[in-house]
Structure 1
Amino acid sequence: GETEEILNRMGRAATALAGLAEQVLRTHDPELATELGRRDDELDELHRRLLTLIEDPTWPGSIPAAVDATLLGRFYERFGDHTVVVGRRVIFLVTGEPLSP
């Protein structure tokens, strides 16, 4: 259903962020590091959609499924946040300038 599709998209987005973070760490490219934040925005939006879906009273899932989906969505969202921190630290390393949150 829609819950699984959102979680699948979140998983793909997190995987892409992991690959990009690896490139950033390898190349120290500040432009790629900035891209991490932009791509994390997609993951944040998917997380909001997931929560809205689960909170809808017509959502057909069980309480355990809601808990599992909520936790998984949160873990993906936090993973994305961690890649953004990697990018900020690389930017600081290369430029000496902190990237504003």
Structure 2
Amino acid sequence: MAQGICEGIWLKRMLDEIRIPINYTMRILCDNKVAISIAKNLVHHDRTKHVEIDRHFIKEKIDHDIISVDHVPSCRQTADILTKALPRNTYENIRSNLGMIDIYHPD
């Protein structure tokens, strides 16, 4: 999430430089409910010691309304088609949402 937020802030600054201001909160979609909970609540968790700096960075951006973090189910996570082996049904659904066709099996 922290890397995605940094990329979003960079893009926003680039757009500002070319005089295309973006005046709304960036929306980060995550399929991990635990990561969202940790990002929004700074209560110390024993299993989060290695993400301490990222956690504070994300919480700061949420508090200043720079980003909002929302849950998206894994079956609707479009980027998964490029990074994971998916069940056929999920793969075909995401592929059709992207407007891609199967060149080996045209309908």
**Normalised by the size of structure 1, how large is the TM-score?**
0.36
Name the one with the larger helix percent: 1
Which of the two has higher C-alpha Rg?
Answer: 2
RCO comparison, higher one (Cα < 8 Å, 6+): 1
